[in-house]
Amino acid sequence: MHVPLWLALIAVGYLGIKLIRPPWWLVAVFLLGGFLLADSFLASAFDTVVK
């Protein structure tokens, strides 16, 4: 199953806001940082660490 990155980011952001209630700026930083990291050369390094 292939889920677009933007849809996954929206779902994670929505659930994080509803469940944890963090400040909005922190959610924006995490989502933008994750989106930028997924497109960088460091993505393969994080992929091996996570798996």
Distance CA 39, CA 14 (A): 22
Token reading at 47:
């992929």
Kindly indicate the confidence band of residue 19, based on its pLDDT and cuts at 50, 70 and 90.
very high
Q: What's the burial of 38, exposed, middle or buried (CB within 10 Å: 0-12/13-18/19+)?
A: middle
Q: Characterise 16 by phi-psi region: left (phi > 0), alpha (psi -120 to 50), beta (else).
A: alpha
Distance CA 10, CA 16 (A): 10
Q: Which pLDDT belongs to residue 50?
A: 73
Indicate the residue type of 45: A
* 6, pLDDT greater than 80: yes
Give the tens place of pLDDT for each residue, 20-31. 998 888 878 987
Single pTM value for the model: 0.51
